[in-house]
Amino acid sequence: MSAPLDQQTMRLIHGEEGHPFAYLGPHLQEGTGKTRSVIRALFPEAASVNVLFDNEKAQSHPMKTMTSDGLFALECAVDARKVGYRFQVVKQNGERHERRDPYAFDPVLSEYDLHLFGEGKLYKAYDKLGAQVCQHQGVQGVSFAVWAPNAKRVSVVGDFNEWDGRRHLMESRGGCGLWELFIPELQEGEVYKYEIRSQNGDAPFLKADPYATAAELRPKTASVIRTTTRYQWQDHEWMERRGKQNPLATPYSIYEVHLASWRRVPEEESRWMTYGELAETLIPYVKEMGFTHIELMPVTEHPFDGSWGYQSTGYFAPTSRFGSPEDFMAFIDACHQANLGVLMDWAPAHFPDDPHGLAWFDGTHLYDHEDPRLGYHPEWKSRIFNYGRTEVKTFLINSALMWFDRYHIDGLRVDAVASMLYLDYARKSGEWMPNRFGGNENLEAVEFLKELNVMVHQEHPGSVMIAEESTAWAGVSRPTYAGGLGFTFKWNMGWMHDTLEYFSMDPVHRKYYQNKVTFGLMYAFTENFVLVLSHDEVVHGKKALLDKMPGDNWQRMANLRALYGHMWGHPGKKMLFMGCEIGQWWEWNHDDSLQWHLLEYAPHQGLQRYVADLNRLYQSEPSLYEVDFDWQGFEWIDLHDSDHSTLTYIRYAREQKELVVCACNFTPVPRLQYRMGVPQAGMYRELLNSDAEIYGGSNMGNAGAVEAEPTPYHNQPYSLLVTLPPLSVVFFKPV
């Protein structure tokens, strides 16, 4: 009759042990007077197990069966902690395999790593946590580490161990809540999850790795072991130049892209393009169109296509929809070599409650708040991060830093910042909890955003952080030392709403709403603004931009060209969503390609050519980008001519002698012999005219140039008599 099993053995057999190293692996036997040790192993699937020592050529040592549940032991006359060995396992079905003992290896995480993690200062946690392909104690393998402080037990499971949570129990590293295990000789490309047993004793459940560098393609949800350190970057010139740039005085004309629907492959069942195919097609197109940056809607891994990436489950993994992490690196590298910056949308405001994701990760509300007034997002039916928890801040800040460090991203556009800043965002009375001062500000989120922005700008000079923030919160794009949140730029949502409302009106009514296109200058320099016409404005019944415009088809095109001309002339960086440059008629559909067939028609060709020429003009004229955030870069000529629905203004470069004049006519009535004041004498060349025939216009204009007259007007010493074509914007520059 076998001896009764002790509690530790029972916990091991039943997969409940949090300190497997205390029993499994090699252990020195004390009090024998000789060097002796015992090796213990758990192989539930094994019929027999032998030990092969590295210092012996062929001799094998059979292990003794301790229990019928697969616990084996071997007593040996050597210190097995110092002598390498392998297990030779014979399964119940007769299959054989060899493997090294993971419990013969020391921890990978140092005590200092644990200390930094506990303090929230482990800013390269992405090099420590997750699945790290590495060499440890002379053996190649994979080191796993995960934060699950309230778990009773955590295991690594995958195809390599038949998803059996008893086979690779992780070691608890104490009060910091980290669990780790080095699995020797495990190969890159293996899929895995963590099997977690919570303290309440329920059945174990599976979770994807929060720090995973790759994931399976949906609907599969396992993490994938991938290294991201082998790629040989070729963008050294770009990175060096970026580090010396001042983004505020640099042209930013951003093309916003949803990779899955920019262009599909119709010959192959409308499949997505790969990162490699996008590098060959998207990059040349964006270059041809004259944009300076591509902004990618979230490519962080996400399970549901319809979330567009904003409900992320993989904050460290580029989506597998289009290829591997190295494929994504190659795409960004190709962008940089083509002199294109890459911005990426990033969503730290909330996360989905998919069962394999962060929600209820270790059986508790680990990443979010338990109280739904703080932890549940009523607008997006998702979970809100607990920004006051050190380890959660570490997770999010590490995610941001990783995209800059490993993937050479040039900037992050932080989604839904307003929902982070306000505790009562999208909530009714009684559905939210005030802060400790009784206010509605989320003080923990504010501190998180400040720390995030300081770290990014400190570690990656020349990179940008862009806030999608739709309220009047002060100082979003002001430095933290001046009381701001520390973002580089902020989306100008007010300008966008007012401008689209104005241009959607019949021109006959516009004279009554002149303030819609002038009010933005009242606050234009309170933040570092990006003028945006984003994906949000062409979905959910809002209609495509061209379809918002009033009038017949010719007037709609002319209105849209005038809108773009005013946008590019107005202070602020620029962002345009894909498809808007070709005059897409339909709302954007994430399941289909853009309406590229429209380019068979001259009006759409003309609009596309106009946007490309606008971008080229923008980059060639420092007046249009050098002083975007100060009154020194802008001067009204006349903002009061509402009867004619015209606007005239000047943009100045850093050297104020260099300037561009922008003249807008927002009615279909040509303005002939229209006088406007200018600050300098001489000839003014017509740089760009949205009414040119090549753009689909009526080809009215100023014969290329017009001479300034010594007639003071609009508080300027000189004036021009110009023709303002119908529904047009014309740019002039003194020669």
151 and 61 part of one domain: no
Any domain includes 457: no
Alpha-carbon span 723 to 663, nearest angstrom: 10
* CATH code of residue 133: 2.60.40.10
73 and 164 part of one domain: no
Any domain includes 399: no
Alpha-carbon span 440 to 554, nearest angstrom: 48
95 and 160 part of one domain: no
Q: What's residue 577's pLDDT?
A: 98
Tokens at 714, concatenated: 């609009």
Q: What's residue 1's pLDDT?
A: 32
The tally of CA atoms less than 13 A away on the side-chain side of residue 107 is 21
Beta bridge partner(s), residue 87: 51, 99
Contact between residue 475 and residue 484 where contact means Cβ atoms under 8 Å apart: yes
Residue that finishes a domain, picked among 174, 207, 240: 207
125 and 95 part of one domain: no
126 and 100 part of one domain: no
717 and 628 part of one domain: yes
Q: What's residue 7's pLDDT?
A: 77
Any domain includes 728: yes
| Closest-CA residue to 559 (of 515, 483, 504, 640) | 504
Angle (CA) 710 712 714, round 5°: 140
Active site residue 235: no
122 and 77 part of one domain: no
94 and 129 part of one domain: no
Any domain includes 610: no
Mean pLDDT for back-to-back runs of 10 residues, the chain (735 residues): 62 83 90 79 92 86 90 90 91 90 95 94 94 95 97 96 94 94 96 94 91 96 94 96 96 98 92 96 98 97 94 96 96 98 97 96 95 93 96 97 97 97 94 95 97 96 97 96 97 97 96 96 97 95 96 97 98 98 96 96 98 98 97 97 97 92 98 96 97 97 95 96 98 96
Domain that holds residue 632: 623-734
Any domain includes 28: yes
Q: What's residue 655's pLDDT?
A: 85
119 and 93 part of one domain: no
98 and 119 part of one domain: no
Alpha-carbon span 139 to 137, nearest angstrom: 6
Alpha-carbon span 132 to 228, nearest angstrom: 10
Task: Compute φ and ψ for 89, nearest 5 degrees.
Answer: -105, 130
Residue that finishes a domain, picked among 104, 132, 158: 104
Residue 393 CB neighbours (<10 A)? 20
For 669, counting Cβ atoms within 10 Å of its Cβ (0-12 exposed, 13-18 middle, 19+ buried), the class is middle
* Residue of 127, 468, 581, 613 with catalytic role: 468
Beta bridge partner(s), residue 91: 46
For 123, counting Cβ atoms within 10 Å of its Cβ (0-12 exposed, 13-18 middle, 19+ buried), the class is middle
Active site residue 468: yes
116 and 96 part of one domain: no
Any domain includes 73: yes
Q: How many domains does the chain have?
A: 3
Any domain includes 705: yes
Residue that finishes a domain, picked among 207, 224, 245: 207
* Residue of 209, 235, 415, 638 with catalytic role: 415
73 and 116 part of one domain: no
Name the 3-class secondary structure at 608: helix
Q: What's residue 83's pLDDT?
A: 87
User: Dihedral (C-alpha) 230, 231, 236, 241: value to the nearest 10 degrees?
Assistant: -110
Q: What's residue 9's pLDDT?
A: 79
Any domain includes 539: no
* CATH code of residue 661: 2.60.40.1180
| Closest-CA residue to 288 (of 581, 559, 570, 571) | 581
